Amino acid sequence: MKNRVRSSGFTLVEVIVTLVIMALGGVAVFTFLHGAVTRSSEPVAMAQDLATAMDTMEEITALYHDYRKGDLSWQAFKTDLGDYPVTTEDKEDAMGNPGFEIVMVTVNTGRQSLSTFFSE
């Protein structure tokens, strides 16, 4: 009687099938995460742009507070806006009152923009 010893382990076919399944899974994961990895710096850049815009707007608001305290004239405030990377637009009073001026200031940095209104 011949004793047959069965060897333990995996066959070549089982190893190849396992590798193919793992490769397909890797491709699926790479395809799913590829867009997230390449765009991962976007939120950081947007946050930096927003912080820059907020800093600029805070400086302009400080100038407006100087105007409100009487340390700066309205014309000087509007002139000082030219020192910043902003767009300004004169708006009319909603009631059409003469002598009442409203300036809309927009700060644009990258893909972020902040707008506010300042009134005389």
State pLDDT tens for residues 67-94.
999 998 888 888 888 877 777 766 665 6
Q: Which SS3 state, helix, strand or coil, does residue 83 take?
A: helix
Place of tokens 């005389």: 120
pLDDT in tens, 50-72: 999 999 999 999 999 999 999 98
Query: CA angle, 97 as apex, 96 and 103 as ends, to 5°?
Result: 80
Q: What are phi and psi of 63, to 5 degrees?
A: -60, -40
pTM for the whole structure:
0.61
Residue 22 has pLDDT above 60, yes or no: yes
Which stretches within the chain are classed as H helix? Answer: 12-38, 42-69, 74-80
Half-sphere exposure of 92 (CA within 13 A, CB side): 5
